[in-house]
Amino acid sequence: MVVRVQDRFAILLGRDALYPAPIAFTLAHEIGHIALRHLEATDAVVDMEDPAQIEPDDDEESAADHYALQLLTGDASPKIETNLDDFSAAQLARAVLVTGPERNIEPGTLALCLAYQDKKWAQANSALKMIYDQSKPVWREVNFLAAKQIDWSAIGSDSADYLRAVMAVPDA
């Protein structure tokens, strides 16, 4: 979800993944809600289901998806062609590890774009295990980066202590 307090925003992620690409899409989608001014008339936009896994059900959801794709791939509606009608996870992993860098698209993101386009979720999710060197909870890196964006001196020490505990980030 995205919350707004006056003209400031925060993205709250209620899910995690073992690989970066799914979280990158969800984060980019939520950034889209902010950038496209979907919070001007409301204090929060809540995506109950993961935007990466569902068809958008209204114009704002669709616009946020296109924003995310533009941000992550350089194309708001990328069309991905494959030279095989069906393929294994290993074939997909090998293909995106070559094609992704050529197109300046992170390979895991490219695999998920194809999964979304052609409903190849099983192959793409298995391919993620081969695309990345290791699995690890993505939230740690997300929260580490988020912590750098917070002006800790602007919030009270009790709030800062609470927020650091919730985010599991060390004292600045």
Query: What residue ranges bind Zn ion (CB under 5 A)?
Result: 47, 51, 61, 64
CB of 62 to Zn ion, least distance (A): 9
CB of 40 to Zn ion, least distance (A): 15
CB of 2 to Zn ion, least distance (A): 8
| SS3 call for 5 | strand
Would you state the torsion angle of the CA atoms of residues 76, 25, 142, 8, taken in this order, to the nearest 10 degrees? 60
Which of 28, 124 has the CB closer to Zn ion?
Answer: 28
Which of 73, 123 has the CB closer to Zn ion?
Answer: 73
Q: Based on C-alpha coordinates, what's the Rg of the chain?
A: 18
SS3 of the chain: helix, strand, coil, percent, to 5: 55, 5, 40
Which of 7, 59 has the CB closer to Zn ion?
Answer: 59
Which of 65, 106 has the CB closer to Zn ion?
Answer: 65
| Of 4, 7, 13, nearest in space to 143 by CA | 13
The residue number whose beta carbon is nearest to Zn ion equals: 47
CB of 54 to Zn ion, least distance (A): 10
Distance from C-alpha of 122 to C-alpha of 132, rounded to nearest angstrom = 16
